[in-house]
Amino acid sequence: MAAGLQVAGLVLGLVSWCLQSSCTSSQLWKVRSQAESISSSQWQYEGLWMSCAATSLGSVQCHRFKTVLGLPVHLQTCRALMILSLLVGLAAAIVSVLGLKCTKIGRTPEAVKDQIALSGGVMFILSGVFTLIAVSWFAAKVIHDFYDPLRPTETADDVMLVLDHVSDDVS
């Protein structure tokens, strides 16, 4: 029973890590649409690494952010937190595999294997917390910018962070 729970926890942690990885590379962190007329509808997507523009005719143009130091602080911090989350999650997966009851490495006592598995689980939780902080900070910035009275009213921003929150819930 305990070995099955450990494997289930590892699988959930790996699913969470895969979702975090796909969200880190996604360009759909912020979507801005300008739908003034059907013929000139335009959408702008922004992620942590690049910005894209798409038209209703199907053309999409993306470009990477050219500088690191010129980016807003929240974007740099979210990048760092997401990369840290991925690294901690990868380490958690390795540690968790070593701590499973069904893996044998030398003559490791069961108490030590339990502590290794527990530390892998704590690392998965820490990875999820890093992602949650990054996603929440980015969402708060988008919402703050949306309600900024100096912002033009022709554009409407939508936050596309559902997958990030799902990965946090899984981990």
The 3-state DSSP class for residue 91 equals helix
Query: What's the domain count of the chain?
Result: 1
pLDDT in tens, 60-110: 898 998 887 888 899 999 999 999 999 999 999 999 999 988 888 888 888
Phi, psi (5° rounding) for residue 54?
Answer: -135, 150
User: What six digits make up the tokens of 136?
Assistant: 């929440």
User: What six digits make up the tokens of 74?
Assistant: 């929240």
- DSSP H helices, the chain, are 2-25, 73-99, 110-146, 162-170
CA–chain centroid gap for 158, Å, is 17
Cβ partners under 8 Å of residue 53, min gap 6: 42, 43, 44, 45, 60, 61, 62
pLDDT of 40 reads 60
pLDDT in tens, 113-143: 989 999 999 999 999 999 999 999 999 998 8
CATH of residue 19's domain is: 1.20.140.150
Please provide the DSSP assignment of 121-169 as one string. HHHHHHHHHHHHHHHHHHHHHHHHHHT-TTS-TT-EEEE--HHHHHHHH
Cβ(45)–Cβ(72) under 8 Å? no
64: containing domain? 2-170
